[in-house]
Amino acid sequence: MTEKQKIINIAVIAHVDAGKSTLVDAFLNQSGVFRANEDVADCVMDSDDIERERGITIYSKNCSIMHGDVKINIVDTPGHADFSSEVERIMKTVDTVILLVDSSEGPMPQTRFVLSKSLEQGLNPILFINKIDKKDARIDEVVDEVYELFMDLNANDEQLDFPILYGIARQGIAVRDPADAQGLSVEAGGSKIKHTPEGYAGLNITPLFDTIIEHCVPYPDLREEPLQLQVSTLGYDDYIGRLGIGRITQGTIKEGQTVAVAKEDGSIAQRKAGQVFVYRGLKRTAVSEAECGDIVVISGISDISIGETICDSKDPQPMEMIHIEEPTLSMNFMVNKSPFAGKVGKFVTSRHIRERLEKELEVNVGLMVEETDSTDCFKVSGRGELHLSILIENMRREGYELAVSKPEVIFRRDENGKKLEPVEEVVISVPDEYAGTVISKLNLRKGIMVQMNGENGYSKLEYHVPTRGLLGYRSEFINDTRGEGTMERRFLDFEPYKGEIGGRSNGSAIAIEEGVCTPYALFNIGERVQLFVDPGTKVYEGMIVGMNSRGEDMEVNPCKAKKVSNMRASGSDESVKLSPPRVFTLEEALEFIDDDELVEITPDDVRLRKKLLKEIERRRAGR
C-alpha cells in the first residue's frame, strides 16, 4: 500500500469580528493558492451576498493548503451565537482549533461558547492573539484572561498547555513573541495583505503554519478499517444535486462505490456514492478515491442528511448523531394577505412557503418548523433574531412574499412543572456618559448586573438578561449610546421565569384607507407622529404609517388631499417641509412590532401592519 498523505484538519474559531475570515485569507494568500497578479477580495471565503454585505460569516466553509508535505484542511466558522449550530457540527471534523482573540477586547461571550465546544470534543487549541498593533492592546492581560477562561471550562492539563502566537491577520503576520512585531501599525483605512510568501515588513504567517505542524499529529492511517464518514454539512450543486460534506473517520471511499447510510432513526439504507471531491485551495477537485482524515464532498446520495453516517456496505458502523442545542426563539411565517399581496412576489402561496422551509431544514440544523392550526401559517423556531431574519432575507431575495409575527421566546417546564425561560449573557462596552441610561433600561428588562469595570472613558457591563427582555432592545441601545456602544450576547441557560416585562411605550399610527400619501396629510400627521412613509407611498387600511408620541394606537388618514376652492387664500401657500421618515431594516421591523402586528415582506418592500386590518375588527378583538 502506498504511503498515506499527511493530513491535518483545523478550524478557526472566535467571537464575531475577531478576524477569522481575515486569517484564512492570509493562509490562502501566503500558501500560493492565488497567482501573484490575481486580484483577491477581502474575506474571500465569505461568498454569500448577505455575508459580504454584513461583513459576517454565516455558513462554515472549507478550503485546503499545502505546507511542505502536509495537507491542511481549514474550516472557517461563524462567530455569531445565532449560527453556533454550524460550529457545533464542525468540531467533530477537525484535529485542532485556532482560537482567535482580539488583543484589546479579550475573550467575549461567544469565545466561551466556541471554546467550550472544542474542549468538550477533546481538542487541544492553539491561541492566536490578533490585532496586536492596536493602540489599546493589552496583550499580557488578555492572555491571562484566556487562561482563566480555560480553567473555568475545566480544560485538562494537556489543553491548558496551549501554544500562543501573536499577530496581525490583516497584514499576514504571526510571531511567537509580540516584541518581534513592535512598531508595525495599520495605515488609515486598513492595509492590504501582501499576496506573496514574504508577508509584510519581513514577517509572515509561517510561524503559525509551523506551530500547527508541531502541535498536531497527522491523522493516523486507518485505511484498512471499514468506512466511516459522518456528514457535517450539506451543499447543493445545480448539476449534480445534493452534496454531503464531512471527514472520513476511517477507511476509504471511491467514486461509484456502494455504501450503507445510517439514518437518524437507526435504519440502514444501501446507496451508491456518485462523484468524490476533495478541497484544493478554494476549489472542489474530483478524485477517484479519498482516504481517512480528509474532508470530502460526496454526490449521488439524494436523501443524505446532516449527522448521518456513510458506512461500509458490508460492515456498517454508525457514529453517534450530532447533538445540536435546541432553539430559543420562534415566530410565525404566514401567507401574505394584505391588499397589496401578490403584486411583486413570485412565490406567494402556503405551498411555496412550506417547500422553501422544508428545503431550509435540510441544511439549517438549528432550525425547527412546526404546523399550526392554520394551513397558511407555520411556526418557525431558531437560535435568535439574526438566525431567523437571515432566513427571511434570503427568502425575500429569492422572490417570496410572506408575513411574519413578532418573535416569541420558547418557554420550558422543569420536572416540577415550573416555568423556565432562556437567559443570555450580555457584555456591553459603552462611553461612561451613557452607562447610566443603559443600566436603567436593562434593569427594567429584568437584567441582573454581574460585573462592571471602567477603563479609558468606557464602562464594560456584564449582565444576565432574559431573552424576552432583549427583544427589540438593540435599536434602542444604538439610539441611547449614539452608536458608540457595543453589545455582545450569548445564550446562557434556562432559568425560572423572571416575571412580566413592559412592552413598547409608543402606539402605532394606522392608515384608515387605501391610497397614496400626500404631503398635506403627512404634514398635519407629522406633528404628533414619527412618520414611516414618504409622500407618494402607497398604503392600505390597517398599514402602520408611523409611531404615535403617546402610548395608544391612533387612526390617521395619510392620503387626505388639500381642499381646492376658487377662493383666494389670505396668505401665500408655503411649500410643505417634512422630516425624513424612519426607514426600517428587516431586523428593526421585527424588533418594532407588537403582539397584534405583523411585518409584511415582499421582494421590494418591508411594511408594518396590524394583524386585523379593519378598525371595527380591532375594536371587537380589544373588548
Q: Annotated binding residue at 17?
A: yes
Question: Which of 78-87, 132-141, 145-154, 279-288 is most confident?
Answer: 145-154
Question: Residue 82: which residues within 8 A CB-CB, separation 6 or more?
Answer: 366, 382, 383, 384, 385, 386, 387, 390
When pLDDT is cut at 50, 70 and 90, the band that residue 599 belongs to is very high
Instruction: Specify the pLDDT at position 195.
Output: 40
Instruction: Specify the pLDDT at position 334.
Output: 92
pLDDT tens digits for 272-288?
Answer: 989 999 988 878 888 99
Could you tell me which residue, 37 or 236, shows the higher pLDDT?
236
pLDDT tens digits for 447-475?
Answer: 999 988 887 788 888 999 998 888 878 87
pLDDT tops 50 at residue 343:
yes
Average pLDDT over residues 302-330: 84
pLDDT tens digits for 416-439?
Answer: 889 999 898 888 888 889 889 999
Instruction: Specify the pLDDT at position 41.
Output: 43
Name which of 197-211, 335-349, 439-453 the model is least confident about: 197-211
Instruction: Specify the pLDDT at position 150.
Output: 92
Instruction: Specify the pLDDT at position 379.
Output: 93
Q: Annotated binding residue at 254?
A: no
Q: Annotated binding residue at 79?
A: no
Structurally, at CATH architecture level, domain 413-496 sits in 2-Layer Sandwich (3.30)
What's the mean pLDDT when you consider all of the chain? Answer: 82
Task: For 525-573, give the DSSP string.
Answer: HTTTEEE---TT-EE-TTBEEEEESSSS-EEE-TTPPPP--SSPPSSPP
Angle between helices 473-480 and 432-444 (to 10 degrees): 150
Q: Annotated binding residue at 18?
A: yes
pLDDT tops 50 at residue 526:
yes
Average pLDDT over residues 329-354: 91
Provide the grid cell at 572: 401665500
- Domain boundary assignment for the chain: 6-215, 228-312, 413-496, 508-622
274-282 long-range contacts, CB within 8 A, separation 24+ = 274/240, 274/298, 274/299, 274/300, 274/301, 275/240, 275/299, 275/300, 278/64, 279/62, 279/63, 279/64, 279/73, 280/64, 281/28, 281/33, 281/63, 281/64, 281/65, 282/28, 282/33, 282/44, 282/45, 282/63
Q: Annotated binding residue at 21?
A: yes
Q: Annotated binding residue at 132?
A: yes
Q: Tell me the CATH class for 228-312.
A: mainly beta
Name which of 179-193, 579-593, 603-617 the model is least confident about: 179-193
Instruction: Specify the pLDDT at position 87.
Output: 73
CATH H-level, domain 508-622: superfamily: bipa protein (2.40.50.250)
Instruction: Specify the pLDDT at position 76.
Output: 73
pLDDT tens digits for 345-383?
Answer: 899 999 999 999 988 887 777 788 999 888 899 999 988
Rounded CA-CA distance 51/537 in Å is: 30
Q: Annotated binding residue at 19?
A: yes
Average pLDDT over residues 70-90: 71
Name which of 122-131, 177-186, 204-213, 218-227 the model is least confident about: 177-186
Q: Are 272 and 259 in contact (CB under 8 A)?
A: yes
Q: Annotated binding residue at 133?
A: yes
Could you tell me which residue, 123 or 234, shows the higher pLDDT?
123
pLDDT tops 60 at residue 21:
yes
When pLDDT is cut at 50, 70 and 90, the band that residue 561 belongs to is confident
pLDDT tops 60 at residue 58:
no
pLDDT tops 70 at residue 48:
no
Identify the CA nearest to 495 among candidates 473, 474, 468, 472: 468
Same-fold call for 6-215 versus 508-622: no
Structurally, at CATH architecture level, domain 6-215 sits in 3-Layer(aba) Sandwich (3.40)
Average pLDDT over residues 254-261: 90
